[in-house]
Amino acid sequence: MPDLSDNGSLSCWLVRLLVWLSVASGISVSAADAAPDFESDIAPLLVRRCVECHQGKNPSGGLLLTTRKGLHAGGESGQVIDLQNVDDSKLLQRVIDGEMPPEKQGRSQKLSDAEIKLIRQWLAGGAKWPDDRELDYFERTNDVRAGRDWWSLQPLVRPEVPQLVRQPQPNNPIDAFVRSKLEAENITPAPRADRRTLVRRAYYDLIGLPPTEDEIKAFLADDSAEAWPRLIDRLLEMPQYGERWARYWLDLARYADTSGYERDQEKPFAWKYRDWVVKAFNSDMSYDQFVMQQIAGDELPDRTEESVIATGFLRLGTWNDEPNDKLDYQYDRLEDLVHTTSSAFLALTVKCARCHSHKFDAITQEDYYRMASAFWAGPLLEGELGGPPAQKLGFNDVLGWTDESPTPKPLHILKNGERHQPLEEVIPASLSSIPSLERRFDVPLDGAKTSHRRLQLARWIADPRNPVTSRVLVNRLWQHHFGQGIVRTPSNFGFLANPPTHPQLLDWLAAEFQSGGRRMKSIHRLILTSQTWQQSTLHPHAEEFEKRDSGNRLLWRSSRRRLDAETLRDSLLAVSGDLDLRVGGAGFKPTISPEALEGLSRKSAAWEPSPIEQQKRRSLYMYLKRGLLPPMMTTFDLCDPTLSCGQRDVTIVPTQALTLLNNRFVHDRSEHLATVISQGSSDQKEQVRQAWSRVLRRQPSDSELDSALRYLVTQTRTFAESEVPSVDELAAERTKGIRSSLVLHLRADKAVVSDGDETRVRSLPDLSSQGHDATQLEVKAQPVLVADGFGGKPTLRFDGSGRFMYLFGQVITAQSHTIVCVVSDDGGSGHREVISNWNGGAGNSTTSLFLGLTGDNTVRFSDAFAPAGNVTDRTKPFVLAAVNGSGQAAVFQNGRLLKSAPELAPRRLDTPWIIGQQGNINGEFWKGGIAEIRVYNRDLTDQERQSVEAELAGRYEVSLSPIENRPRLSPEILALASLCHAMMNSNEFLFVD
């Protein structure tokens, strides 16, 4: 156990805690029957055991136990003490019975014998209570909760830098603090890590990207004393620094691009907030400004568009447009704002005081509502997408926050947090947790547009005398450089927090941060130039020290860290040479496999990935939809953006292995890299060296080279020999599962031709076995069969002049349906249809269902959905798919979404079905080829549709959209790719020493 009771302000509370503990355990009463002392014996007992309920304006049972007067006045059931006959005192009887304190969650809270004895003695001694002494539930820390004397709330005093005894005094005070503790524990620090390790660690720490081999070499070649600080300065000046560190802040700000819940609407221009954060880091904005702008950027006297964008911080929470009860919901939104603000900036769990005073920290229920009052003037109830309408912000195209009026309606404290039980009106003010800084919020000056409460809250948080703010921030910086903070629960500095491993160091850093104008870059420099940060992860005495301090709380070595989700993805892009380092702007939508899209309620076309080139940007810019977080990212512990997140989990699970082994994104990287390497050199040894250099940023050892070469030989042979099933076979296998929904299946190779003319098609059997055979008995209306049509397969040709076929029976019976066909189009002047049930006489001239093209060569999927997108290369065979159902209609060409629309209005489906013409209109004839038509009586999922498209594309040699259509790589390149892939999966790649 590290020694926490070193000198300094932080330790006072601990000393008191120890004193209290000895009281509570009854040690001090052992001194015979001396009358207990009120201050040292009774006050703590009452505060700890009774005052939680018996305090305030409405004490439980009417009994107030915070004043002498209250004790003597008694409660609703009369006097509680009888000083003449002490044993008749109700107070004593109740605690002896165990009736008081009442049980909690089924567990008895009965006082100990020692405590009961104390009370009896105190009563017997006349229940002494100094007249003016008022007990305060939060006055001090005890063994079950923190008081206002809690360490994190105490003023910041710069501690003395300790002097080492056995080692030379280090230059960097960080090392003095850390090593003095190590000295005391007789633990030696780990040696400095080698320079190659350090340069990689510095790159990942500061910019979240690996150094190239050349950058490493250049650093290793520079052995001047200035090499290291120069490297740090260079990295801190790179725009990638801001990107790396902004991501940590975005976790705290619960950043996402959508609102969540059923409709999961986009939060337009949320990305401008992200850019603001990146710029704030890159420009080394003072932390005061960083705080002020995010909480009150709209209220600042010198407000700018940027400062208003910063208030996006308050707009980023989830938002339900259909809450069960709007009036209740505004209180939930308040909680989000209170919680996000208080945990991100103050590491206080103020939200726990919504229904009752905090169970563990010096935060009253009133404090919760005081803080909530700062946000009460905002558009919690109305507004656009949960926020102020754009014009109220004064700038176009920004997402921000502002008040609805300078004088909001009163906010009441709510009993048990319930809206229907309002207690007194809260007076807007700061928290009471730090008495010396407690202040009411002034009403705004006349003419103000906002309540100025957030401004005053922001000023209170940013006040240099507020000790929590700087402690919390430097702890976060430390955390991301060491994997763990000095306080290892970075968003909770309260009673249930993990106490600081180095309390004095924390205060020293906070003081240093203050005196340096609250700039973060100087703290980074300080940390990275310390020996503590530069230690190796390895230690010659690791085994022994592990036993004594397995959590490395004393920092006797550096902790190895796994790349987080973004850094991993960025690194994959970096090593394959794909990374696009464009900074800022709107995000990109990654390709998400159709399987993963299954979870969406509106799935077909609900997610349109950005062009592949844009997807090569850093992961920071990945669009985060709350209802569909990218699976690859969540697998690697991207945190849920519902709540502010101060520390991500770090897990190692097999699904991560599956992702890195099998995910297409990773294969794209390794295949691209292998292609590039093999273009540079055909020499296998050189290729292996290149692979090592690019992925692991070093040269292979001789044995690694040998085994890699052997690996290439084996894998090349394997790939050359492997019988890869044809796309056709695989797709056919996959489409088996949806056959039961197939209601029409026509294929030209099954055509029955006319007697006497083998090119005239008389009928096509319906292969779905639903009996919707196609027929045309009139020879002049029969399509022509081309034996060597699409992909060399038989195909029907329609010449646009009166050729069509009748279908037997009602083909489609459900309003949800899918049509997939393989066609080509030579038309151009007017409408033409592949399939239709238009029937003017029967009365569905506006409600029929059909699929065809317009005179403008756009697809029409019934009158309700036209135009449904432009086809390209229409004279070549293509797969045309139309899906309707589940709230959506969508049309695809060769697997590419042409357009989507709301679900079609109900169609009338019971009229005769025709192919090659607009129903019975005697016109709009198809001109071009039709090789196959499949109709399903439901909306296929994306995956199902794709499997049908893939099967058809395979048969007719049609190219599907790019992602499905990769060039076939040679066995040699595949082997090299598989080598690169293995390295991308290696621990050396994924961990930073």
Partner 1 sequence: MSNTSQFPCGQTRRQFAWQMGHGVAGLAMTDLLTRDGFFGAPVRAAERDAPLNPLAPKPPQIKPRAKACIFLTMNGAPSQVDTFDYKPELEKYAGQPLPADRKYINSGGRKVGFLTPAWRKFRPGGESGLLVSDYFPNVRKHADKLCVLNSCHTDSHAHGSALVAINTGKTLIGRPSLGSWAVYGLGTENENLPGYVVILDNRGGPISGQPNWANGFMPATYSGTLFRPVGDPILDLRGPQHMTQKAQREQLDFLAELNQQHLDTRPSGRELAARINSYELAYRMQSATPKAVDLSQETQSTLDMYGVGKEPTDEYGRNCLIARRLVERGVRFIQLYSGGGHLEETWDAHAGIESNHGRHGAEVDQPIAALLTDLEQRSLLDDTLVIWGGEFGRMPFSEGQNAPGRNHNPYGFSMWFAGGGVKGGMNYGKTDDFGFEAVEDKVHLHDLHATILHIMGLDHELLTYFHQGREESLTDVGGNVIDDVLA
Tell which positions 90-119 bind partner 1, by CB under 8 A.
Answer: 105-107
Residue 860 tokens, joined: 């029409």
Q: Can residue 887 be called a binding residue for partner 1 (CB under 8 A)?
A: yes
DSSP H helical ranges for 285-346? 287-296, 305-310, 326-341
* Interface size with partner 1, residues (CB under 8 A): 116
Of 139, 149, 305, 704, the one binding partner 1 by CB under 8 A: 704
Residue (172 or 258) nearer to partner 1, CB: 258
Choose one: 53-61, 241-249, 632-640, 801-809; the region binding partner 1 (CB under 8 A): 632-640
Choose one: 95-103, 365-373, 786-794, 880-888; the region binding partner 1 (CB under 8 A): 880-888
| Binding to partner 1 in span 791-850, by CB under 8 A | 816
| Binding to partner 1 in span 552-581, by CB under 8 A | 553, 560, 562
Chain position carrying tokens 């938002």: 319
Per-position x/- string for 739-778, each x denoting binding to partner 1 as judged by CB under 8 A, each - no binding: -xx-------------------------------------
Of 497, 528, 622, 883, the one binding partner 1 by CB under 8 A: 497
Q: Quote the Cα angle for 910-912-917, to 5°.
A: 130
DSSP-assigned states of every residue in 887-953: TEEEEEETTEEEEEEEPPPPPP--S--EESSSTTSS----EEEEEEEEEESSPPPHHHHHHHHHHHH
Residue 858 tokens, joined: 């756009």
Of 551, 585, 792, 855, the one binding partner 1 by CB under 8 A: 551
Of 19, 538, 586, 709, the one binding partner 1 by CB under 8 A: 538
Q: What is the helix (H) or strand (E) element at residue 30, kind and residue range? A: none
CA nearest to 803, candidates 922, 889, 710, 897: 922
Supply the minimum distance, in Å, between the C-beta of residue 103 and partner 1. Answer: 12
| Spatial distance between the Cα atoms of 859 and 165, rounded to a whole number of angstroms | 83
Q: Can residue 596 be called a binding residue for partner 1 (CB under 8 A)?
A: yes
| Spatial distance between the Cα atoms of 950 and 895, rounded to a whole number of angstroms | 8
| Binding to partner 1 in span 423-482, by CB under 8 A | none
| Binding to partner 1 in span 933-952, by CB under 8 A | 938-939, 941, 943-944
CA nearest to 5, candidates 103, 95, 540, 15: 15
| Binding to partner 1 in span 342-381, by CB under 8 A | 343, 349, 351-352, 360-361
Of 330, 357, 534, 647, the one binding partner 1 by CB under 8 A: 647
Chain position carrying tokens 């056919």: 732
CA nearest to 39, candidates 126, 133, 116: 133
Residue (395 or 711) nearer to partner 1, CB: 711
Of 154, 537, 893, 920, the one binding partner 1 by CB under 8 A: 537
| Spatial distance between the Cα atoms of 500 and 384, rounded to a whole number of angstroms | 43
**Angle, in degrees to the nearest 10, between helices 520-528 and 467-482:** 40
Supply the minimum distance, in Å, between the C-beta of residue 643 and partner 1. Answer: 6
Supply the minimum distance, in Å, between the C-beta of residue 833 and partner 1. Answer: 28
> Which residues make beta-bridge pairs with 799?
927
Residue (83 or 600) nearer to partner 1, CB: 600
| Binding to partner 1 in span 659-698, by CB under 8 A | 659, 661-664, 667
Residue (407 or 601) nearer to partner 1, CB: 601
| Spatial distance between the Cα atoms of 91 and 102, rounded to a whole number of angstroms | 13
Cβ count near 108 (within 10 Å): 9
> Which residues make beta-bridge pairs with 578?
none
Residue (298 or 903) nearer to partner 1, CB: 903
Residue (114 or 982) nearer to partner 1, CB: 982
Residue (293 or 330) nearer to partner 1, CB: 330
Residue (649 or 755) nearer to partner 1, CB: 649
Q: Can residue 985 be called a binding residue for partner 1 (CB under 8 A)?
A: yes
Supply the minimum distance, in Å, between the C-beta of residue 438 and partner 1. Answer: 21
Choose one: 68-76, 184-192, 387-395, 882-890; the region binding partner 1 (CB under 8 A): 882-890
Residue (5 or 436) nearer to partner 1, CB: 5
Of 311, 357, 475, 656, the one binding partner 1 by CB under 8 A: 656
| Spatial distance between the Cα atoms of 521 and 498, rounded to a whole number of angstroms | 26
**Are the CB atoms for 50 and 101 separated by under 8 Å?**
yes
Residue 856 tokens, joined: 């403008």
Residue (134 or 640) nearer to partner 1, CB: 640
Based on its alpha-carbon atoms, the radius of gyration of the chain, rounded to whole angstroms, reads: 36
Residue (125 or 323) nearer to partner 1, CB: 323
Q: Can residue 780 be called a binding residue for partner 1 (CB under 8 A)?
A: no
Q: Can residue 188 be called a binding residue for partner 1 (CB under 8 A)?
A: no
| Binding to partner 1 in span 705-734, by CB under 8 A | 707-708, 711, 714-715, 718-719, 722, 724-725, 730, 734
Choose one: 746-754, 782-790, 855-863, 881-889; the region binding partner 1 (CB under 8 A): 881-889
**Are the CB atoms for 497 and 506 separated by under 8 Å?**
no
Choose one: 121-129, 205-213, 383-391, 630-638; the region binding partner 1 (CB under 8 A): 630-638
Q: Hey, CA dihedral for 284, 285, 286, 292, is it positive or negative?
A: negative
Choose one: 113-121, 483-491, 572-580, 820-828; the region binding partner 1 (CB under 8 A): 483-491
Q: Can residue 637 be called a binding residue for partner 1 (CB under 8 A)?
A: yes
| Binding to partner 1 in span 610-629, by CB under 8 A | 626-629
Supply the minimum distance, in Å, between the C-beta of residue 345 and partner 1. Answer: 14
Report CA 399 to chain centroid distance, whole Å: 19
Residue (106 or 756) nearer to partner 1, CB: 106
| Binding to partner 1 in span 257-296, by CB under 8 A | 260-262, 264
Of 495, 607, 892, 925, the one binding partner 1 by CB under 8 A: 495
Residue 398 tokens, joined: 């920004």
Residue (18 or 427) nearer to partner 1, CB: 18
| Spatial distance between the Cα atoms of 14 and 41, rounded to a whole number of angstroms | 18
Cβ count near 538 (within 10 Å): 14
Residue (282 or 489) nearer to partner 1, CB: 489
Q: Can residue 875 be called a binding residue for partner 1 (CB under 8 A)?
A: no
Q: Quote the Cα angle for 537-543-546, to 5°.
A: 75
**Are the CB atoms for 46 and 137 separated by under 8 Å?**
no
**Are the CB atoms for 509 and 478 separated by under 8 Å?**
yes
| Spatial distance between the Cα atoms of 359 and 238, rounded to a whole number of angstroms | 45
Of 90, 569, 589, 603, the one binding partner 1 by CB under 8 A: 603
**Are the CB atoms for 834 and 926 separated by under 8 Å?**
yes
Q: Hey, CA dihedral for 82, 88, 89, 90, is it positive or negative?
A: negative
| Spatial distance between the Cα atoms of 262 and 794, rounded to a whole number of angstroms | 47
CA nearest to 334, candidates 218, 435, 438, 419: 419
Supply the minimum distance, in Å, between the C-beta of residue 657 and partner 1. Answer: 4
Supply the minimum distance, in Å, between the C-beta of residue 891 and partner 1. Answer: 19
Q: Can residue 331 be called a binding residue for partner 1 (CB under 8 A)?
A: no
Supply the minimum distance, in Å, between the C-beta of residue 602 and partner 1. Answer: 7
- Beta-carbon contacts of residue 769 (< 8 Å; ≥ 6 apart): none
Supply the minimum distance, in Å, between the C-beta of residue 818 and partner 1. Answer: 12
Supply the minimum distance, in Å, between the C-beta of residue 352 and partner 1. Answer: 5
Chain position carrying tokens 């810019």: 621
Q: Can residue 885 be called a binding residue for partner 1 (CB under 8 A)?
A: yes
Q: Quote the Cα angle for 670-672-675, to 5°.
A: 105
Residue 292 tokens, joined: 């002020």
Cβ count near 524 (within 10 Å): 24
Which residue type is seen at 863?
D
